[in-house]
Amino acid sequence: MDPVVRKLRFPLLFMAVLIGVGTAGYMAIEKWRFLDALYMTVITLGTVGFREVHDLSDGGKVFTIVLIIVGVSVLGYIVGSLAQTIFEGQLQQILGRKKVQKKIEALHDHYIICGYGRMGALICREFAAKPLPFVVIEKHPEVHEKLHQEEYLHIRGDATEDETLLRAGIRQAKGLITVVTSDTENVYITLTARGLNPDLYILARSGEEGSEIKLKRAGANKVISPYLIGGNRMAQAILRPNVVDFIEIATGREHLDLQMEEIRIPPESGFLGETLVTSGFRKETGVIIIGIKKLDGKMMFNPAPSSKLDAGDTLIVLGEPGAIQKLEKLISCSDCADAIIRKHTPKEPPHA
């Protein structure tokens, strides 16, 4: 039930009862007909100052005095409660918007998600589970109630406009994902975002055939077609069902036994220049390194034990969530590297 209706339910009910009592009272005391009694009751409670319908007896005058005192009190309470509820609602809305905007302004290296449809909702859910900082831009008012319930940071506006993207902190953002239903809007959003932040990573949704080229020309780093991926996934589910099951287990956040993740090697890591063997990642954590993406974009699948680690490399790892977290901490800990490297560096045979 609406909070305004809930708060005024009993006073309004009491006012209706009071009108009924007043009407019945005039009919009983003054012997008026129903319409005259109802009219007299309404103008008395409303204090409009009209003259009496008929001359009142002493009993009628006393009854009118009581009706005015009670009616004005109830009516004043109703008007005051209504004004207070409206004022508080507007005040909370204004303060709420300012609070959200302050949180957005404090974001750094966050992601901007344009559009909160089915795809946008799934992306938000995955980001929140990670968690990754993000803000949603949505122009349809009816969708904002869902965003408010999920407690996601969001902005109401058109993502094709500079002002909206600036309010979302695009200059401090790490990436932007545009998944609105219109390919034309996705192109405009990509163009606008690229102009405001040349270093931004932009991921765009492509719906129609041929729009992928336009989105890349507009500045998108990567373009994904849900229909193409969905069709391919369905075909693979028939052709290679076990492979698909394995990928779903490894990439789904609801599976706790096995996860596939990517870990970037920072420039301050103590393992720079070491090999996979001397780093001891596998023995120390139990994770399997299934690939290394070099800084130039080259992907090494099933890397050899002698593969060297450089700053900016991204490790594609497979293992239990706890083991992956342990590896992330290990790579970031510069003080831990020396002891582990000495432990796993093969000892040279003694000289003859």
Confidence of residue 165 (pLDDT cuts 50, 70, 90): very high
Q: Tell me the mean pLDDT in the region 288-316.
A: 90
Check residue 189 and give its pLDDT: 96
| Predicted confidence (pLDDT) at residue 352 exceeds the cutoff of 50 | no
Q: Tell me the mean pLDDT in the region 212-220.
A: 93
**pTM (2 d.p.):** 0.60
| Predicted confidence (pLDDT) at residue 204 exceeds the cutoff of 90 | yes
Under 8 Å CB-to-CB from 171, ≥6 apart: which residues?
A: 196, 197
| Predicted confidence (pLDDT) at residue 190 exceeds the cutoff of 50 | yes
Angle between helices 3-29 and 34-46 (to 10 degrees): 130
| Predicted confidence (pLDDT) at residue 342 exceeds the cutoff of 90 | no
Check residue 187 and give its pLDDT: 95
Burial of residue 185, with CB atoms counted within 10 A of its CB: 0-12 exposed, 13-18 middle, 19 or more buried: middle
| Predicted confidence (pLDDT) at residue 350 exceeds the cutoff of 60 | no
Confidence of residue 254 (pLDDT cuts 50, 70, 90): low
Token reading at 335 = 């003080």
Angstrom distance (rounded) from CA 20 to CA 37: 10
Q: Tell me the mean pLDDT in the region 210-216.
A: 90
Q: Is the N-terminal amide bond of 131 cis, ω within 30° of 0?
A: yes
| Predicted confidence (pLDDT) at residue 219 exceeds the cutoff of 60 | yes
Confidence of residue 82 (pLDDT cuts 50, 70, 90): low
| Predicted confidence (pLDDT) at residue 210 exceeds the cutoff of 50 | yes
Q: List, for residues 261-296, the tens digit of each pLDDT value.
A: 889 999 888 888 889 888 888 888 889 899 999 988
| Predicted confidence (pLDDT) at residue 60 exceeds the cutoff of 90 | no
Check residue 138 and give its pLDDT: 93
Check residue 4 and give its pLDDT: 52
Under 8 Å CB-to-CB from 107, ≥6 apart: which residues?
A: 133, 135, 153, 169, 172, 173
Residue with the bigger pLDDT between 22 and 14: it is 22
Check residue 255 and give its pLDDT: 57
Q: List, for residues 108-156, the tens digit of each pLDDT value.
A: 999 999 999 999 999 999 899 888 999 999 998 888 888 888 889 999 8
Domains of the chain (ranges; CATH) run: 3-101 (1.10.287.70), 108-229 (3.40.50.720), 251-344 (3.30.70.1450)
Residue type, 306: S
| Predicted confidence (pLDDT) at residue 211 exceeds the cutoff of 70 | yes
| Predicted confidence (pLDDT) at residue 257 exceeds the cutoff of 60 | yes
Angstrom distance (rounded) from CA 298 to CA 316: 13
Check residue 16 and give its pLDDT: 84
Check residue 293 and give its pLDDT: 93
Lowest mean pLDDT among 52-66, 80-94, 324-338: 80-94
Under 8 Å CB-to-CB from 69, ≥6 apart: which residues?
A: none
Question: Which residue's structure tokens are 């309004």?
Answer: 12
| Predicted confidence (pLDDT) at residue 91 exceeds the cutoff of 60 | no
Q: Tell me the mean pLDDT in the region 320-328.
A: 88
Q: Tell me the mean pLDDT in the region 43-49.
A: 75
Lowest mean pLDDT among 65-79, 124-138, 297-311: 65-79
- Helix extents (H) in the chain: 3-29, 34-46, 58-105, 118-129, 144-150, 162-167, 183-196, 211-218, 226-239, 241-251, 276-279, 281-285, 321-332, 337-344
User: SS3 of 295, please?
Assistant: coil
| Predicted confidence (pLDDT) at residue 101 exceeds the cutoff of 70 | yes
